[in-house]
Chain A
């Protein structure tokens, strides 16, 4: 179902920075949070217009960059429960936290039931915590297409940490690795299938591995397998931490938060870490470029003559040939 709303974008950008207050509000922080939630809605429904909000150069100087922590792992592995405890631990250390929790959208209706908040009730009234649930809206990379924009918007408010909980369905979760500074993969003891996936390299991308529900079964075997499969051959590279936790018994959480902090320190001080961050920035630009330019590409494709398209359908002309021709027009334009 689709409805219409109106938004004053220039007003909104002022409200995000606190230069202007949301109508009827006197508390500056609450007003900025209200503006943030409206801005996320705007991006969520039209990611291509992200530029009209996020392109505002003024934002870049007002807040130091937030640390982005990604949490991925199968549904039911305990991501939301761990997020709740991580928020608690970060709050005790005086840090402000934003949580973006992505759940799958129904491919049939486009609707969704977003229930990650149920596990985070203790933080609802804490003004230092912002929680936003997002439907994946057809995206397959574990996060919604607008999640990155939402992370950047939360960054404008200067949250110390931004936790992104992904959908967590299986294998195509690699997008979180591009988006997060630190990626945590949540596993369970005895989830042998996942270790098989790891051997195939699919899940070998995390910075920290957590074996949650260690109260239910010993994590020892799983930890050994992980050590064997994730230790980097380059001694200078980050060596992924492998940690047992139990969200139910509230065990292992401080170690997890400490591991996230050491990974941050590694990235900020080690030359290899700096290189990783540079690569991530390049990927972010590439993805943004793709998003920005996609409508132009679609327009160009619409102008491809019908007979050429039919030839592609009939297998007489490779799609790549058409793409190549179109691409040449675009590169001429850029140069």
Chain B
């Protein structure tokens, strides 16, 4: 069972107790991480995406799953409304060089430019450096072990401010 998390205030409201309508600036709070697992592109296979989703759930994350054939705008809008800490794209269709930058651009437009994007699926090793340069947070090539995927996502989540 989840215990309610303690929030610490980095700047105390004057007068001690937080009351109605108080103004507090920097509140540091603990949260359960939220992850969007999305499937852009045209292929209809979501076994891999669902497998990742369950693994992340078992690692204690809340995973928002939206189904197949999502456009970059669909993904960005969902990421923002769900306030996720990271967006994971599952790609099998080979359109990754086009899709990643479009998702990143769309996120910026929706006010989610701070949300890191990662991806996995069928992505050849040689494309990885360019994708990382284009702002993708991490890429998992075929054969990456699920434990390594989880460890990397955890690292990314803890790195953010």
Binding site for B on A (CB under 8 A): 1-11, 22, 24-25, 30-31, 33-34, 37-38, 40-42, 44-49, 51-52, 55-58, 105-115, 117-118, 121, 124-125, 130-133, 135, 137-138, 145
Range of interface residues on chain B?
A: 35 or more
Query: In this assembly, does B25 line the interface, its C-beta being within 8 Å of a C-beta of chain A?
Result: yes
Q: Complex Cα distance A105/B112, Å?
A: 25
Supplied contacts A37-B81, A48-B4, 17 more A-B pairs, CB within 8 Å: A1-B32, A3-B30, A4-B28, A6-B10, A7-B29, A30-B111, A41-B34, A45-B32, A51-B22, A110-B2, A111-B32, A112-B63, A113-B53, A113-B57, A125-B73, A125-B77, A135-B62
Q: Complex Cα distance A105/B1, Å?
A: 9
Contact partner, B25, options A9, A34, A47, Cβ 8 Å: A9
Q: Given the complex, which residues of A lie within 8 Å of B18, measured CB to CB?
A: 49, 51-52
Query: In this assembly, does B58 line the interface, its C-beta being within 8 Å of a C-beta of chain A?
Result: yes
Q: Complex Cα distance A137/B1, Å?
A: 8
Q: Which residue of B lies closest to A112 (CB)?
A: B62
15 interchain pairs (CB within 8 A)? Answer: A3-B85, A6-B27, A6-B161, A10-B23, A11-B25, A24-B111, A33-B81, A37-B81, A41-B31, A45-B32, A52-B27, A118-B65, A124-B74, A124-B78, A133-B82
Q: Given the complex, which residues of B lie within 8 Å of A131, measured CB to CB?
A: 78, 81-82
Given contacts A24-B111, A24-B113, A40-B83, contact A52 B26 (CB under 8 A): no
Query: In this assembly, does B143 line the interface, its C-beta being within 8 Å of a C-beta of chain A?
Result: no
Interface centre among A3, A110, A117, A121, by most chain B C-beta atoms within 10 angstroms, is: A3
Q: Complex Cα distance A56/B25, Å?
A: 14
Q: Complex Cα distance A98/B6, Å?
A: 29
B20 touches A51 (CB 8 A): yes
Q: Secondary structure of the A side of the interface? A: mixed
Contact partner, B57, options A6, A8, A51, A112, Cβ 8 Å: A112
B111 touches A9 (CB 8 A): no
Q: Given the complex, which residues of A lie within 8 Å of B26, measured CB to CB?
A: 6-8
Given contacts A10-B24, A46-B7, A55-B20, contact A41 B59 (CB under 8 A): no
B32 touches A2 (CB 8 A): yes
Contact partner, B5, options A2, A11, A22, A34, Cβ 8 Å: A2
Q: Given the complex, which residues of B lie within 8 Å of A111, measured CB to CB?
A: 32, 56-63
Cβ contacts B60-95/A at 8 Å (1 or 0 each): 111111110011011001101111010000000000
- Which 8 A-B pairs rank lowest in CB-CB distance, beginning with the nearest? A1-B60, A55-B20, A111-B57, A34-B111, A118-B67, A37-B83, A10-B23, A45-B31
B142-161 interface with A by 8 A CB criterion: 154, 157-158, 160-161
Q: Given the complex, which residues of A lie within 8 Å of B32, measured CB to CB?
A: 1-2, 44-45, 110-111, 135, 137
Interface centre among A4, A111, A135, by most chain B C-beta atoms within 10 angstroms, is: A111
Q: Complex Cα distance A11/B31, Å?
A: 20
Q: Which residue of A lies closest to B60 (CB)?
A: A1
A109 touches B60 (CB 8 A): yes
B64 touches A34 (CB 8 A): no
Q: How far is the CB of B122 from chain A (nearest CB, A)?
A: 23
Q: How far is the CB of A58 from chain B (nearest CB, A)?
A: 8
Q: How far is the CB of A150 from chain B (nearest CB, A)?
A: 11
A47 touches B4 (CB 8 A): yes
Q: How far is the CB of B161 from chain A (nearest CB, A)?
A: 6
Q: Which residue of B lies closest to A12 (CB)?
A: B27
A22 touches B33 (CB 8 A): no
Query: In this assembly, does B19 line the interface, its C-beta being within 8 Å of a C-beta of chain A?
Result: yes
Query: In this assembly, does B15 line the interface, its C-beta being within 8 Å of a C-beta of chain A?
Result: no
B77 touches A5 (CB 8 A): no
Contact partner, B111, options A25, A44, A57, Cβ 8 Å: A25
Q: Given the complex, which residues of A lie within 8 Å of B29, measured CB to CB?
A: 4-7, 42, 45-46, 49
A9 touches B23 (CB 8 A): yes
A6 touches B56 (CB 8 A): no
A8 touches B65 (CB 8 A): no
Q: Complex Cα distance A135/B61, Å?
A: 10
Q: Which residue of A lies closest to B50 (CB)?
A: A113
Q: Given the complex, which residues of A lie within 8 Å of B157, measured CB to CB?
A: 1, 3
Query: In this assembly, does B21 line the interface, its C-beta being within 8 Å of a C-beta of chain A?
Result: yes
B77 touches A9 (CB 8 A): no
Contact partner, B27, options A9, A118, A133, Cβ 8 Å: A9
Query: In this assembly, does B97 line the interface, its C-beta being within 8 Å of a C-beta of chain A?
Result: no
Q: Which residue of B lies closest to A11 (CB)?
A: B25
Q: Complex Cα distance A9/B28, Å?
A: 10
Contact partner, A3, options B27, B33, B56, Cβ 8 Å: B33
Q: Given the complex, which residues of A lie within 8 Å of B53, measured CB to CB?
A: 113
Q: Given the complex, which residues of B lie within 8 Å of A108, measured CB to CB?
A: 58
